[in-house]
A and B are shown apart, each in its own frame.
Chain A
């Protein structure tokens, strides 16, 4: 206890290394040594940062290489060599898990190592911090030599009164204080009476710990989030039958491992109207840009009254704890296909926007014999040209809609091959020609009649359940809350020492301060404290104010190579563990205690 009170705690509390245990000898010595070396390597802060760096590089790989969970079809084309750097390179990439970086063993192993390393770094730091908070006191000093900031003034109060005033002034400024009088007697005799204070020692390190600990909250939220989350997608046509939230009704369905099918609430969503608009004037600024995406929907809870709701691009709807977001939209022409007068297809077809300024979709009618397949191209704005033929434009508004199609007959191989809904796999099919239709028109190709009575719009919704969001927000809040003191709490120490000057009968008050970070910002604070203290004690500056000597006697300020300039941080781990009293190499610059100056004439090192 007593050693701790005379030595100032390190700015970062000292970390106690565990004592060495007896080591096994013999044939296992080598193994044991390797394990120890690996552990030591792993628990260094630098290692953790290298691990983090490697993880960061992997995220770059994941950006450059298509990822299986997001774009499986692209990955497939890379693997066959149709796209990307060729089949050979792709196989190598695949072997290293580059097509699923975030699910790869390497990524998981590195994350695990990082957190082991982080834990190993943090446990001793937390213990040291707790020890610091519980036991440390601002250190008392024998001499006030060697401090950054030093100022003296005289007062008629007694030293005790001056100390009491110092306690008050510093206390109001939230310094942590230690009064000499409160110490055990054997310490009191060793040091002159004084008030010692410190600031920022707990908060800076505490903030840093909070910041690093928030990573665990974030990690836990992400891991449990992956398990508990649910995400599904589904498109709905305006005014058509909506969909019910059940496992089978989604087009794409991605539940976390712990998400149960019974977790679906079973509400029902209908799209009443979809509003979409653009800047239509081709000369206006931002021509062609969309200005509105908004769905008016009807929600029917499983056991409640239906109600109306609105879903905007930035205002998703919350239904029974599930978030419904607009993801996508397109036109949905109603296509009726009759073969020999018998209807084999009558439905709204989801046509999705493509780069060419049209919307494409497909009709698959296996009810016919042989199957009928249509490739659809919907041009929303294809006005008639001078020759009466439609002229497709890239405009997305449906002022002059036209449906272009190509018909195929043959075996669609539904169920036999993997197919996307709105693309027709035309291999092995016979092309039967095509035509274009305006709304309400129909055309006969052989025994097939194709009608296009109307079109509507469809909207793709994502339904997601993310119970991890509150935990993530809490983690992010802790991260910021820790970061601010970690970077902005500055560690400072201050001593106020009042002695009776027998010659004059007055009390000489010395205020010394030390800044571990940003000493230049401490100058002003120190001066303010000195001024406040001298005002509180009726201190006077009646003696001639004399500028202090320059340290080297040259009359010049410090040489340029002096790296402890008053700007910038100095290394935290500098020789700060020394008690101020043994910094004798600096005592030669101390102004003689008898000299005093106004507080503004602070002697600066």
Chain B
């Protein structure tokens, strides 16, 4: 009976929820491409958004059902090992991301990015899959779920911020390239460039003005062409590699390790190239930059509170509140890195791209310390033992 339930919870997670999220993501991405199209296309886009919303809700239902059933099977909160933590991180990331974009920002056509991010995270968590089981007694306290869920939520939020930051950098690169050679794009007219940047601003009537449509299509192509494809692919590979080497090093069999390393890297490269294709349909750089900043600010508060709660738990459980074990060091480093980002944003002269790169670096620090602490050095925080 419990065996069946355990199996059910796994199937609900993978492939069900992952597949639903991914299909919703693709439907949303399609809807995004129609926002600059003709009237009938926009109509189709609206229908697509509705389909995307339905798929997202179904995916969330499957995901939440998975969490609940897993919780019932092992009669405890599903926050006890790496798989469970990552799964919840994805759930929070998707809930917060989609909820924020839909209800606060009222830009549901961007949901595709949040969903793809969540699905990628869930795919990664399947590498860490562990059957449901009881908890080590040391982990069984009120502080633990509080501490872990705060940090997990913050990680999900930082992941969303990372996506926004990456998109901002892409869009900014494209816009700069276009700005540097604008006249060649719009054949001497600057009109075309003026409206594509802001989707909610209306713009000229693309239905009745074939000229505007041409400018529009050309501007989009120029934005995309402004992002060097090889540089993007190699750059993504290198940045991902800064984190994913952990799989290579810690896997017993080199073949499996290299396969994992390459899989993770290539999936990220593919995601980057996909994002590049979507760059013309993104909101303006300032919007993306603002989204990144707001999400980091929120995540930073969560991270701070979660880390403090962790210290309180450590004092109760281990009789010391801070011992610089690998996870504690990682939490500190991540905190410092994101503080650096916030300072960069608050200081004149380090706005824009420079701050964005600090944001990317902070995410690398977070993911890196998380994986290194869990795989390379296993400290007191033993829930990593799968």
Contacts and interface: CB of A to CB of B under 8 A. Distances in A.
Interface stretch (A25-33, A89-97, A187-195, A567-575): A567-575
B257 interface: no
Contacts of A150: none
A557 B201 CA distance: 6
Interface string A554-576: 10111111011111110111000
Contact of A63 (B141, B304, B324, B345): B324
A479 B304 contact: yes
A448 interface: no
B375 interface: no
A370 interface: no
Interface string B185-224: 0000011011111100111100000000000000000000
Contacts of A600: none
A559 B194 contact: yes
A289 B134 contact: yes
A119 B135 CA distance: 46
A112 interface: no
Contact of A292 (B137, B287, B316): B137
A279 interface: yes
B346 interface: yes
B241 to A, nearest CB: 19
Interface stretch (B31-39, B84-92, B228-236, B289-297): B289-297
Contacts of B289: 567-568
Nearest to A574: B348
Report the contact-size class of chain A (Cβ under 8 Å from the partner): 35 or more
A559 B193 contact: yes
Interface stretch (A52-60, A165-173, A439-447, A500-508): A52-60
B138 interface: yes
A316 B141 CA distance: 12
Interface in A284-324: 284-287, 289-293, 312-316, 323
A45 interface: yes
A518 interface: yes
A57 to B, nearest CB: 9
B290 A518 contact: yes
B301 interface: yes
A293 B139 CA distance: 11
A466 B204 CA distance: 69
Contacts of B377: 63
Interface core residue of A293, A462, A469, A558 (most chain B CB under 10 Å): A558
Nearest to A476: B308
B248 to A, nearest CB: 18
A279 B336 CA distance: 41
Contact of B191 (A293, A472, A554): A554
A285 B316 contact: no
Nearest to B168: A568
B301 A483 contact: yes
A323 B333 contact: no
A595 B326 CA distance: 65
Interface of B: 2, 6, 73-74, 131-138, 140-141, 143, 175, 179, 190-191, 193-198, 201-204, 283-287, 289-291, 293-294, 297, 300-301, 304-305, 308, 311, 315-321, 324-326, 329, 332-333, 336, 339-340, 342-343, 345-348, 351, 377
26 contacts: A45-B343, A45-B347, A63-B326, A285-B73, A285-B132, A289-B133, A291-B137, A293-B138, A313-B317, A316-B316, A327-B319, A462-B319, A479-B308, A483-B301, A484-B301, A487-B300, A554-B191, A554-B194, A556-B194, A557-B202, A558-B194, A558-B198, A560-B198, A560-B284, A561-B179, A568-B289
Given A286-B134, A314-B138, 12 more contacts: A285-B73, A286-B132, A314-B316, A479-B308, A487-B342, A556-B204, A560-B284, A565-B198, A568-B289, A571-B348, A573-B347, A573-B348
Top 6 A-B residue pairs of the complex, sorted by shortest distance between their CB atoms: A568-B290, A286-B133, A560-B197, A565-B286, A325-B319, A557-B201
